[in-house]
Chain A
Amino acid sequence: NAGVTQTPKFQVLKTGQSMTLQCAQDMNHNSMYWYRQDPGMGLRLIYYSASEGTTDKGEVPNGYNVSRLNKREFSLRLESAAPSQTSVYFCASEKVGEAFFGQGTRLTVV
């Protein structure tokens, strides 16, 4: 039982490049989330998905797109990366009020 798996763990991008962060959960949870964590800012919600086929904006959605491919997978795409998107990204899934987090992706945009 792997829980929530994120890939990659580390990534360096040049400004303007695109990439997709992958997230998969094997706990049959309906809700999935993407957060970013910056020093002194806590975790800020980018997008979330309450169920397969639905997505909704969080606190900081600009510059990101998401796709809930199926119940297991929820991906986050940066179409044109900017230095302001340098951060640690966390994916999470939730059931009955208990959220489980992936290990995080440390993204640097230069």
Chain B
Amino acid sequence: GIQVEQSPPDLILQEGANSTLRCNFSDSVNNLQWFHQNPWGQLINLFYIPSGTKQNGRLSATTVATERYSLLYISSSQTTDSGVYFCAVAYNQGGKLIFGQGTELSVKP
């Protein structure tokens, strides 16, 4: 099956700093999503991005499908960005969606 690796496993930032989170995957996929799990455990979909670049406010993501990686950029981080960021992939939409182990982000005031 598909293997998903995320780095770094942990990240501590001062408020206002920028960060880049990486997701590597082992096979060609047609479904790649980024999620944020807040400190209360709620999982929120950030991006559906099997290829290309998308932006939503301070967050943006880029997937280079041919090289099997995706990057999540967080700019001007805020304390509310704290939590765990997960990358998940599947061969197709509606197929088995496999998660990486996540990057735990802590933003300090």
* A interface residue numbers (CB < 8 A to B): 30-31, 33, 35, 40-45, 48, 50, 56, 58-59, 88, 90, 92, 94, 96-101, 103-104
Contacts and interface: CB of A to CB of B under 8 A. Distances in A.
Contact of A45 (B31, B33, B97): B97
Nearest to A90: B43
Contacts of B100: 42
Interface residues of B, number: 23
22 contacts: A33-B97, A42-B99, A42-B102, A43-B99, A44-B99, A45-B97, A48-B97, A50-B94, A59-B98, A88-B41, A92-B43, A92-B97, A94-B93, A96-B93, A97-B48, A97-B93, A98-B33, A99-B35, A99-B97, A100-B45, A101-B43, A103-B42
Interface string B67-109: 0000000000000000000101000011111111110000000
Closest 4 CB pairs of A and B: A31-B94, A42-B101, A101-B43, A97-B48
A33 B16 CA distance: 36
Nearest to A103: B42
